[in-house]
Structure formats: structure tokens, C-alpha cells
């Protein structure tokens, strides 16, 4: 069984923001897999289904970004999912808009949602799919930037990236992280 968690902030106020890229990918993935992510459990919205021959749980933590680890840990404990089968999808300001980076493990790189997950799981050895949202402009507050929405010129690029990130997550489940890294890293 795999847990695929997309990070973001709950409530309509944050829909479509850069920081909610993970939620956007989960929405695409849910559509592709025919899974409804609407059950309120484990401090998140979850949905269960299949990706190929593997059972998957899709998760949108409802704890707000900085506490994402609470929900991820609750789901992983309840379903007894090991960290190597927990795939985290999230925004990355160090990648150009629409670019992807798949990794098998790694540090938080300054991302508070990932810091929380590492703290709650007690390891940084879990696969992740980072979705580039671009660097913040000089003199702009980071929180204002990541909580802002994509400009019209980037919307199609980001929709394509959400589709690709969803496929990267399925590739991790079906073919392994190395295959996903080879297929999707640097992809735009």
C-alpha cells in the first residue's frame, strides 16, 4: 500500500495558490484514478483506491502546511505504511515554474511542510515529487509569494506540470522511484 500526500493549505482562501501545488496534483491524480478524496479522517481529506495493482491512499492534509506531518503520520500509522511507500508532492520555489524533480529522499530544503513530515516520521527517506513554482521576486515577502496565485501566463504550464507530477507519482508506485527520476526530472 502507498500513501500519496499532496501538501497545501485548507479552505477556499488558499485554492489555486503556489503553496497548494500539492493539492492541485492530488486533484488531478484523483480524477485519473477515479478516487474521491472527500473522507475527513486523520487530520486530512483522504480517498482510497488503486494505481495499477497497488492500493493507494490519496491525502490532502487539513492541518495547514507547517503541520503537514501530523496528518501524514496519522495516516501512515493507521494503515502501517512504511516511509519508502509515502510519496509527498509539494511546491518548490527553487525550480522554474512547471519543472519537476523526483527524489527518493532528502532534506527539507527550507520547506516547512517537509520539515514537519521529517519530524513526525523520524526520517527523510521517503520519495517526493517537487513541483516548481518559480523564485519569488526581489523585495517580495516569501509568504506573500507562495500564497499568491499563478499569473495567467503560467496557468497552462502549471496545469501541465500537475498532470506530469500525478503521472510521476503513479510511476513511483508502479515502476519505482529510479524510473520516475529518469523519466520526469527536469521535465517541463
| Residue 111: per-residue pLDDT | 95
Catalytic residue among 19, 42, 111, 120: 19
Domain boundaries, the chain: 2-184
| Residue 188: per-residue pLDDT | 62
Q: pLDDT for 60-78, tens place per residue?
A: 999 999 999 999 999 999 9
- For the chain, list residues with pLDDT below 50: none
| Residue 187: per-residue pLDDT | 64
| Residue 45: per-residue pLDDT | 98
| Residue 90: per-residue pLDDT | 98
Please say if 111 is a catalytic residue. Answer: no
How far apart, in whole angstroms, are the C-alpha atoms of residue 147 and residue 122? 28
pTM, whole model, 2 decimals?
0.97
Say yes or no: domain 2-184 is CATH 3.40.50.1470. yes
CA distances in angstroms from 110 to 24, 79, 81, 113, 115, listed in the order given:
21, 29, 25, 9, 7
Amino acid at each position: 500500500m502507498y500513501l500519496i500526500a499532496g501538501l497545501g493549505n485548507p479552505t477556499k482562501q488558499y485554492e489555486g495558490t503556489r503553496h497548494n501545488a500539492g493539492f492541485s496534483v492530488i486533484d488531478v491524480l484523483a480524477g485519473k484514478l477515479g478516487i474521491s478524496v472527500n473522507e475527513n479522517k486523520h487530520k486530512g481529506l483522504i480517498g482510497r483506491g488503486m494505481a495499477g495493482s497497488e492500493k493507494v491512499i490519496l491525502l490532502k492534509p487539513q492541518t495547514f502546511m507547517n503541520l503537514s506531518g501530523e496528518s501524514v503520520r496519522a495516516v501512515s500509522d493507521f494503515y502501517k505504511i512504511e516511509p519508502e511507500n509515502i510519496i509527498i508532492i509539494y511546491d518548490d520555489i527553487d525550480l522554474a515554474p512547471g519543472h519537476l524533480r523526483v527524489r527518493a529522499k532528502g532534506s527539507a530544503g527550507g520547506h516547512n511542510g517537509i520539515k514537519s513530515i521529517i519530524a513526525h516520521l523520524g526520517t527523510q527517506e521517503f520519495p517526493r515529487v517537487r513541483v516548481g513554482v518559480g523564485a519569488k521576486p526581489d523585495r517580495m515577502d516569501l509568504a506573500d509569494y507562495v500564497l499568491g496565485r499563478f499569473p495567467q501566463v503560467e496557468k497552462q504550464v502549471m496545469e501541465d506540470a500537475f498532470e506530469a507530477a500525478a503521472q510521476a507519482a503513479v510511476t513511483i508506485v508502479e515502476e519505482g522511484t529510479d524510473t520516475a527520476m529518469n523519466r520526469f526530472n527536469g521535465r517541463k
